[in-house]
């Protein structure tokens, strides 16, 4: 892994509801906007969080809602990226 690669969480930590809804700055079309972290993560990373044993039901429901919002069946998109 490159030294410049940023990790979203430290090793050994697990995603919480508060961590998922935190907003981060993102440059969109030349201007900075605040975007919730769940919208920035890849489906592969969301699947890892979803299938982690320590993930709470709140976080799992949030990931399922995001999949439905994007037009995907939650079970299908998460199993393809697991």
DSSP per-residue string spanning 17-49? HHHHH-EEEEEETTEEEEEEHHHHS-HHHHHHH
Domains of the chain, by residue range, sit at 17-80
Q: What burial class does residue 69 get, using C-beta atoms within 10 Å of its C-beta: 0-12 exposed, 13-18 middle, 19+ buried?
A: exposed
pLDDT, one tens digit per residue, over 46-62 is 998 899 888 889 989 99
Asked if residue 73 lies in contact with residue 67, where contact means CB atoms within 8 angstroms, the answer is yes
User: Is 0.85 topped by the overall pTM?
Assistant: no
Evaluate if residue 12 carries a pLDDT over 70. no
**Percentage of residues in the chain having pLDDT higher than 70:** 83
């Amino acid at each position: 892994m490159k030294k410049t690669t940023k990790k979203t969480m430290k090793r050994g930590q697990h995603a919480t509801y508060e961590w998922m809804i935190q907003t981060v700055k993102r440059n969109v079309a030349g201007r900075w906007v605040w975007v919730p972290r769940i919208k920035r993560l890849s489906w592969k990373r969301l699947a890892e969080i979803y299938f982690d044993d320590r993930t709470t039901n709140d976080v799992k429901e949030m990931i399922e809602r995001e999949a439905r919002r994007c037009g995907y069946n939650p079970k299908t998109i998460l199993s393809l990226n697991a």
